[in-house]
Amino acid sequence: MSIAKRVLVGLVASSCWVGLAHANEPEFLDFDKENIYIGGGLSYNSLSGGFDDAVGLQGFAGWDFMRIGGLTVAGEAGVFTTGSFSYDFGGSESLEGLYINGVAKYDLTDALWVQARAGTNFSDTGAGMVGGGVGFRVTESISVRAEAARYGSVTSLMRVDVVMTF
Which tens digit of pLDDT belongs to each residue from 112-138?
999 999 999 898 877 789 999 999 999
20 pLDDT more than 60: no
CA 132 to chain CA centroid, nearest Å: 6
Q: Does 21 reside within a domain?
A: no
Identify residue 17 by its one-letter amino acid code.
W
Q: Does 52 reside within a domain?
A: yes
Which is more confidently placed, 12 or 87? 87
Q: Is pTM beyond 0.85 here?
A: no
Quickly state the pLDDT bin for 29 (edges 50, 70, 90). confident
Note the pLDDT of residue 123.
87
CA angle 48, 59, 142 (to 5 degrees): 120
Task: Please report the sign of the dihedral spanned by the C-alpha atoms of residue 67, residue 71, residue 77, residue 78.
Answer: positive
Work out how many domains the chain is built from and give that number: 1
What CATH number is attached to the domain comprising 71? 2.40.160.20
Quickly state the pLDDT bin for 3 (edges 50, 70, 90). low
Q: What is the DSSP letter of 30?
A: P
1 pLDDT more than 60: no
Residue 75: CB partners within 8 Å, gap ≥ 6? 62, 63, 65, 100, 101, 102, 103
Q: Does 67 reside within a domain?
A: yes
**Euclidean distance between CA atoms 164 and 147, whole angstroms:** 17
Q: Does 11 reside within a domain?
A: no
Q: Does 7 reside within a domain?
A: no
Full residue range of the structural domain in which residue 63 is found: 27-165
Q: Does 2 reside within a domain?
A: no
* Strand-strand pairing, 71-86 and 54-68: antiparallel
